[in-house]
């Protein structure tokens, strides 16, 4: 693109690529263009999707909620129809999390929070645990408080009440019978 647009590239000359929002300088020793400046772009100018940083090894720096390029093991049993894993806190999940509101009331203080709940993951250890989440929320909002077992139980119950009626994962289609 650079040679087609500018012809012979010269060392230390700036080459603007307006459509891409970058200005580059040619490095003759490495025979490559080096980005000098780039306007902040939140979305791709072609597909309007979210832009992400690419590490030197070619991996994507995903953010929570991003759809990855890693396929799920069995798309037929997945809740999300996209067929790809979803990134959350450094882990690729089969499904995006369900956001569950919870209310904590302790010693006259009321705190509302959102829990991110994962269920029906092919790797079962990635499924959320209501008891662990309740413990985390207690430490987050009321650290070091003693006698909060009732509040812990209340948080667990709020979570379980909201996820008890979730539809089960679709069943995997039966393999064809061999005659």
Q: What is the pLDDT of residues 2-13, one digit of tens each?
A: 777 778 888 878
Query: What pLDDT is stored for residue 113 in this prediction?
Result: 98
Q: Based on the domain organization, do 163 and 113 belong to the same domain?
A: yes
For the stretch 104-131, pLDDT in tens is: 999 999 999 999 999 999 899 999 999 9
Domain identity same for 92 and 116: no
Domain span including residue 112: 97-167
d(CA 24, CA 30): 14
Same domain, 77 and 112: no
Mean pLDDT estimate for the chain: 86
Q: How many domains does the chain have?
A: 3
pLDDT of residue 131: 98
The pLDDT value recorded for residue 135 is 96
């Amino acid at each position: 693109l650079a040679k087609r647009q500018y012809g012979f590239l010269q060392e230390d000359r700036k080459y603007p690529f307006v459509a891409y929002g970058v200005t580059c300088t040619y490095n003759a020793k490495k025979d490559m263009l080096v980005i000098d400046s780039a306007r902040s772009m939140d979305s791709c100018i072609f597909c309007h999707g979210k832009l992400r940083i690419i590490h030197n090894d070619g991996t994507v720096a995903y953010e929570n909620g991003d759809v990855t390029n890693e396929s799920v093991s069995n798309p037929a049993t997945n809740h999300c129809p996209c067929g790809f894993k979803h990134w959350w806190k450094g882990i690729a999940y089969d499904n995006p999390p369900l956001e569950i509101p919870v209310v904590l009331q302790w010693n006259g203080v009321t705190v509302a929070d959102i829990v991110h709940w994962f269920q029906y993951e092919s790797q079962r250890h990635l499924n959320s645990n209501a008891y662990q989440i309740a413990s985390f929320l207690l430490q987050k909002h009321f650290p070091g408080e003693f006698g909060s077992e009732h509040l812990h139980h209340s948080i667990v119950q709020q979570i379980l009440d909201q996820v008890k009626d979730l539809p089960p994962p679709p069943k995997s289609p039966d393999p064809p019978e061999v005659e």
